[in-house]
Structure 1
């Protein structure tokens, strides 16, 4: 299928504007540019409506973290979802993923708790992971006060999907497993050079492979890329993971590893649905105000995940 026409226009406009690639800017300026392309570009009328929002603090690996709670319209109690934002472990925050968290809340009819974990290179691995794990532990023990019932899940996009998969494994090993996990175009194999999508979609589709290399170096430094805590596809404990929905995009360098992760989960006996969204690029869930196709795809993801959360599929 061809690239979504509205996303193609967005990419062409960015190329014409000559915006520098993130890896050439350094972390601080890259964060500013990323925010300008995400939260700052959303027209007021395109903010996804939810019943209420609330800023809170949650425990992290080295102190409190900023977090934001999104509550859906309707009668509760609802399931609760820990949402971990993407951005290559280097950029991204609560604001850049505001509409994604809102869409997940509205579409899945769940309380969503979005966390602002520590970023690299100031805080390299495992700082962000430690933050996500501590936040997950706290959320699991505070479901009722957040407005949820006993059902809870983890979700994340891109680098956040990477963290979400590892959080699921850690919490399951502690006998407090999430009921489901949502991984949106996740990074699950740091050394993914063997996958055709890495070369097919290396340039021109929002996420550049050179930018990915910068993200990885910033996050890991000299740490072993085969460590399953950074490449969860290499985990020996995939059979312990919860029922999963994995959303991937046709024109994304991470497409094939996301599909491979779903296949590995199924081989391990875990329910895993992999949905590839034709015509989409990496980051499309944050581009719903720029493309009707991206909006429809994101809404489909959230509806499917809400159905999974309320299904009778057991954890394995």
Structure 2
């Protein structure tokens, strides 16, 4: 049953921005047999570049193809998950990171300050700061500051959706002067986008999320600072200018509610002038893309096709 659902999910992902190729049986079984793999031979990593003043929590890694680039590379910035309290760069989304870099993309993987030692809105400020650093500095690594996309899973999914929608909101944006922090696309994965269940779509976990965030993530409870809670919920920042988004979620996710994510995507698609694609994957759990096991290979290719489609649309 597990393998069947993984194959069905691989097929679903192969239909995201289809290019005439079906899901690969070879990639499926290779991932099933060898879920732990080393990085691609054609990719190099530049470690521990500072993007802010907060020591190791403001470090990022850059992944890019080996050899000279013939043109500036589009940029994908990845934000790890971990419930806003754990995690580090180089621990998550390696199948996607390695694949995108092998396809001529420059990929950035960041650390950021974590709770409970730091409280919101510090985490989102760090993500926005990393976007600003990227736009100001990535030409030094032959990256293209005119195409920067975001992706992340779980807490990272929440943060990239929020950064994509609210980079200029007072209280979320750090002191960056007139730095451009907008992005060209966003791929949040199994994230939380409606923290207060304003769509009334969340089937389970509303009270648990509020309790967890009050204890570990937020500086004050909702009753003490409702404005901040509302400000960090991505659904409150939907606008016609929202960048194109591909939102991915497993149907069996036990940590981030599927129906809430779907309702967020529907709200976004009603208002945004840009492309919004929601994909729910049969049988998949939270963090389904962290190892090379299926459907992660097709996940990486779906993200790549979506971003290339957005790039083409922008160039027209």
TM-score (norm 1): 0.72
CA contact (8 A) 1:195 1:256 kept: no
2:201 and 2:166 map into 1 onto residues whose CA distance is: 30
2:46 and 2:210 map into 1 onto residues whose CA distance is: 33
Cα shift at 1:250: 0.8
- Cα gap change, 1:154 to 1:254, in 2 (>3 Å): same
Cα shift at 1:151: 1.4
Q: What SS does the corresponding residue of 1:94 show, helix, strand or coil?
A: coil
Of 15, 32, 37, the residue aligned with 1:46 is 37
Counterparts in 2 of 1:229-244, with a 5 A limit?
A: 229-235=231-237, 237-244=238-245
Cα shift at 1:117: 0.1
Cα shift at 1:136: 0.9
- Cα gap change, 1:232 to 1:98, in 2 (>3 Å): closer
- Residue by residue over 1:243-284, the C-alpha shift from the partner in whole angstroms, topping out at 9 and shown as x without a partner, is 111111111243222222221221113321111111211110
Task: Report the counterpart of residue 90 of structure 1 in structure 2.
Answer: 85
Task: Report the counterpart of residue 206 of structure 1 in structure 2.
Answer: none
* Structure 2: 5+ residue stretches without partners: 7-33, 170-177
- Residue by residue over 1:118-140, the C-alpha shift from the partner in whole angstroms, topping out at 9 and shown as x without a partner, is 10001111111111111111101
Task: Report the counterpart of residue 65 of structure 2 in structure 1.
Answer: 72
Counterparts in 2 of 1:61-210, with a 5 A limit?
A: 62=54, 65-72=58-65, 75-97=70-92, 99-100=94-95, 102-103=97-98, 105-106=100-101, 109-149=104-144, 150-171=146-167, 176-192=181-197, 198-199=203-204
CA contact (8 A) 2:63 2:98 kept: no
Task: Report the counterpart of residue 272 of structure 1 in structure 2.
Answer: 276
1:100 and 1:230 map into 2 onto residues whose CA distance is: 29
1:295 and 1:198 map into 2 onto residues whose CA distance is: 27
Of Structure 1 and Structure 2, the greater helix share is in 1
CA contact (8 A) 2:147 2:184 kept: yes
Please, what is the CA RMSD of the aligned residues?
Answer: 3.4
CA contact (8 A) 1:108 1:307 kept: no
Of 252, 259, 265, the residue aligned with 1:262 is 265
TM-score (norm 2): 0.72
Aligned residue pairs: how many? 269
